Amino acid sequence: MKEDFSSWVGNTSSVTQILDSVHVHKIARALDVDVPEEEGALPYLWHWCFFNEMAPYANTRKDGHEITGGFLPPLEGTNRMWAGGDVEFLKPLIVGKEATRKSRVSDIKFKEGTTGKLTFVSVEHEVVQDGEVAVRELQNIVYREPTPPKLYGKEHTGKGAWSTEILPTPTMLFRYSAVTANSHRIHYDVPYATKEEGYPDLVVHGPLTATFVVQGFEQAHPEVRVTRYKYRGVRPIICNIPYRVGGDFDLPTEGCSATSVCWAEQDGILAHEGMITYESR
């Protein structure tokens, strides 16, 4: 019998924080890129490194996540994954200025998958700065029964118009966990990731891969401006094994937007897929 979590739909949360340059410097070091200028634009998806509150140890699960039942429904005894999302970039967020993330639980669904029962929780976010919405986002979180992770998948053979190779290391994952205040142990605790959750090694954060996809696209095509990224994780990406992010590209016509199908693959297996919408600068 399914539990009734309908009362959690509509739950809201709000966090206000200064997008301070000290933290931005740490994010840049975690991603191994140049540090953005003070009062410059915060790079795409770096807002994920802000507005993340830490729970007291007494309210922390064995896996490192906060115990559910507050803002999110009570789903203890499950493994949590960031399944995907849809992010619209409406205006730049400015480094050094205050911003507020307003969140709302918009939907909760139950499904039966190949790995058992799944609960999908959708959360809407708006990041507001100077009274205007700069980022609008739908985040999809999935909770699954503690079963062996899905490590197989569809073969990926496409080369794309651009691609970048990434070697995820324990240091990289630790730093990204730190700047996102993410204490999920699969990203930094090898014995837990392998013995408790059944992964062959540490697991790369889904948002980190999404960030590398959009970052790689922007570096390959600086002549366009990204307006949206819709994506989903297909299978886990494992630490210490190189993986590639890439995608296709068509130059948009004046006054119109275009889309790029993007991906991440590891060992020839599709791990992440998405679509970037963009327009000429």
Distance, in Å, from the CA atom of 122 to the CA atom of 108, rounded to the nearest integer, reads 6
Residue pointed to by tokens 């933290």: 23
CATH fold for domain 6-280: Thiol Ester Dehydrase; Chain A (3.10.129)
- How much is the average pLDDT of 223-243? 97
pLDDT digits (tens, 9 = 90+) for 114-156: 767 899 999 999 999 999 999 999 999 998 888 888 888 899 9
- Which helix (DSSP H) or strand (DSSP E) does residue 243 occupy? strand 243-247
Q: Is 218 helix (H, G, I), strand (E, B) or coil?
A: helix
Distance, in Å, from the CA atom of 148 to the CA atom of 213, rounded to the nearest integer, reads 27
Structure tokens at 154: 């569809």
Over the chain, what is the mean pLDDT?
A: 93
* pLDDT above 80 (res 105): yes
- How much is the average pLDDT of 226-246? 97
CB 129, CB 118: distance < 8 Å: no
pLDDT of residue 265: 97
pLDDT of residue 1: 37
- How much is the average pLDDT of 65-77? 82
Q: How many CA atoms lie within 13 A of 54 on its CB side?
A: 11
Structure tokens at 182: 């993410």
Q: Which residues pair with 92 in a beta bridge?
A: none
Q: Could you tell me the residue ranges of all domains in the chain?
A: 6-280
* pLDDT above 80 (res 69): no
- What stretches of the chain show up as alpha helix (H) in DSSP? 21-31, 170-179, 190-191, 206-220
* pLDDT above 80 (res 261): yes
- Per residue in 177-188, is it b (16+ CB within 10 Å) or e — as a string? bebbebbbbbbb
pLDDT of residue 125: 98
Q: Is 45 helix (H, G, I), strand (E, B) or coil?
A: coil
- How much is the average pLDDT of 69-75? 81
